[in-house]
Structure 1
Amino acid sequence: MLVLAAVLLVVAVFRPTLGGAPAVTRIAGALEPSIFLIVDRSAAMAPHLPAVRDDIDAVIDRYPDARFAMITFDARPALDWPLSADSWSLRPVVSAMSAYPAGAESTTNSGAASTVLRYQLISAVQQFPKAPNLVFYFGAGAPDSTVPQRAFQVPENAVAGGAVIGYGTGATPVLQPVAGQLGVPYRERTDLQSVDEAVPAAVESGQGSENAKTAVGFELYWGMAGVAALLILVELYRALRQLRRTRLDRIVVGR
């Protein structure tokens, strides 16, 4: 009986299915988008940062199950938040974000985040090859800069969507080319009632499920496991009953 129970448990491990293929379990988060937030923290952005914080919150709200990375820049870039699905902890970081002190406006580079973004995208594609990568750029276009503006060079087909959003006067001439380099649309913030207008609809990817299962047919493993458990209980009952009889026999002989 125990041998039969063992055989049933071994077969159940392979999840046999009646009338179709076995269920396929997807890794949690494999299809949710990876979102890269590029934020200009130069002095020119100081009056716009409250709006930027609200706009980033709107993006997070639109994609509650996404992974997020945040790269900020002035003359140089900084990876303020590595790619992570912990958007709950990202919100305080966004709320505390401030502009860099005035005095370096002439060296602000609208493309300073290019290299960091490129390698972040390469890493995301390797880790989550089936997930779309979205890039949202929030900037003022370095209106007081006197240095040549660096161009973004992203891996081919690595960016599936997003937007470049310009704040303040003078952003458009610099940031429209940035949008073209990233392959996303450019929008002036003053033309939008809400940043939601520039945010694509959430990707349909089974968001919110720890393990999304797709099954065709009727799975038999649970029935086999149940029968095996019943056989084991019967065998255990027999063993206990035999043990009790043996002990009673010893007591009688001892008398």
Structure 2
Amino acid sequence: MSLHPLIPWPLVVVIGLLLVGFTTWRLVADPRRRGRWALRLVTGLVMVVALLGPAVNGGIAQQAASDVNVFFVVDTTTSSMARDHNGKQTRLEGYREDIAKIQKEMPGARFSLITFDYATRVVMPLTTDTTALQAAASTMRAENSLYSGGSSVTAAGERLRTTLEGAQERAPERSRIVFYLGDGEQTASSRPTPFDVGDLVDGGAVLGYGTKQGGKMATTRGDGSAGEDVTDSEGNPGISTIDEQQLEEIADQFDVPYTHRTGGDISPALEQADPGTTSDAAGAEIEIYTSVVWVLAVILALLLSIDLFLVTREISRLRRATP
């Protein structure tokens, strides 16, 4: 058994002295209502014990430990809606699935999500909150097709470097791991500006999505919903294909391996990625306990209900006795 006070324990002591002291005094001073004050004394004692936060001790667990910052750089241009990932899934669905898989394989790491299309956005800054990462990935949408006017596969270069420099300055001891997720399709007229972040990246991988045969793409609206398929000026369906040579060049710029993703287990890709210095040793020991405050809360509610019933009954009796 252990105690985990719900409020600072000195305040619990003060409240306890006041409650127990007052009810004990009334118990002695008002013998006609001794039963009522005994009930309130018990109620006060239960309340004080509940505020102390009693708990049943469990075992000792090892806290996940990691000294890694992980940055996902994700291509959300219209081509991410091409339906040629793992059958007929969109590439965007593949991004979401792999982000979730990587997160599960790297417990304790801090994660950040950066997307790029006609603009680059830090959707989620570094955090250990995996629920926030899951929410950010699940709500990730392809760009609005109305604003699609040609994109560069390295559009996130400047923002990524600034973000990595900030992470290095704040926590130089933590490794910086970058996972680039995209299809490598350069639709801007100019050649992509190389990423200049090799000195800031300690590991990661470039993950490629799509096929050489390509897939049809749906247009996207402002709310992220899919519309009709993309067509060219002559009404022919727009086809997006993967450019693995471009993706391999990006991998060289990061000095990380390139892996073509078609779904399935992410572990082989992570093994090639050299994900930095994730600690193999167990983290700090943390005590596991089960709080029993809820049991005391139920008892307290029952005692208060009995007291309320008795008070209400007495008030009713006095009203009937009054002429």
With the shorter chain as reference, the TM-score category is 0.5 to 0.7
Cα gap change, 1:210 to 1:75, in 2 (>3 Å):
farther
CA distance in 2, matches of 1:129, 1:31: 14
Residues 77 and 113, structure 1, Cα contact 8 Å, conserved in 2:
yes
- The answer to whether the 8 A contact 1:32-1:205 is kept is no
Looking at structure 2, the residues matched to 179 and 144 of structure 1 have their Cα atoms a distance apart, in angstroms, of: 19
Which residue, out of 194, 204, 207, partners 2:265?
194
Aligned length: 182
Larger radius of gyration: 2
Q: Following TM superposition, by how much is the alpha carbon of 1:189 offset from its aligned partner in structure 2, in angstroms?
A: 1.2
- Structure 2 equivalent of residue 165 of structure 1: 207
TM-score by length of 2: 0.52
Q: RCO (CA 8 Å, sep 6+): is it higher in 1 or 2?
A: 1
Q: Does the aligned pair in 1 maintain the 2:198–2:255 contact within 8 Å?
A: no
Amino acid at match of 1:198: A
- Distance, in Å, in 2 between the alignment partners of 1:88 and 1:188 is 27
Conserved in 1, the CA contact under 8 Å of 2:118 and 2:143?
A: no
Asked if 1 retains the 8 angstrom alpha-carbon contact of 2:205 and 2:251, the reply is yes
Distance 1:143 1:123, change over 3 A: closer
Between stretches 69-78 and 100-109, larger displacement belongs to 100-109
SS at match of 2:145: coil
Residues 166 and 78 (structure 1 numbering): CA distance in 2 closer, same or farther, change over 3 Å?
A: same
Mapped pair 1:119 → 2:154: no
Judged with a 3 Å threshold, the aligned counterparts in structure 2 of structure 1 residues 93 and 148 are, in CA distance, closer, same or farther, namely same
> Structure 2 vs 1, CA of residues 184 and 193 (structure 1 numbering), >3 Å: closer, same or farther?
same
Runs of 5+ unmatched residues, structure 2: 1-62, 82-89, 211-240, 287-323
* Aligned with residue 184 of structure 1, among 235, 242, 256: 256
Query: Deviation of residue 207 (structure 1)?
Result: 5.9
Task: Report sequence identity in percent.
Answer: 31
After superposition, give the CA deviation of every residue in 1:169-207 in whole Å (9 maximum; x if it has no partner): 3321221111111111111113x6422221147622656
Q: Of 159, 173, 188, which residue of structure 2 is paired with 1:145?
A: 188
- Counterpart of 1:99 in structure 2: which amino acid? A
2:58 aligned partner: none
The root-mean-square deviation of aligned C-alpha atoms, in Å, is 2.4
Q: Does 1:82 align with 2:125?
A: yes
Q: Which moved more, 1:170-179 or 1:109-118?
A: 170-179
Residue ranges of structure 1 left out of the alignment (5+ in a row): 1-27, 212-255
**Helix, strand or coil at the partner of 1:137:** strand
Q: Pick closer, same or farther for the CA change 1:165–1:115 going to 2, 3 Å.
A: same
Deviations 1:36-73 (A, max 9, x none): 00000000012211111010001110112111111100
| Structure 1 pair 84–144 and aligned structure 2 pair: CA distance change class (3 A) | same
TM-score (norm 1): 0.64
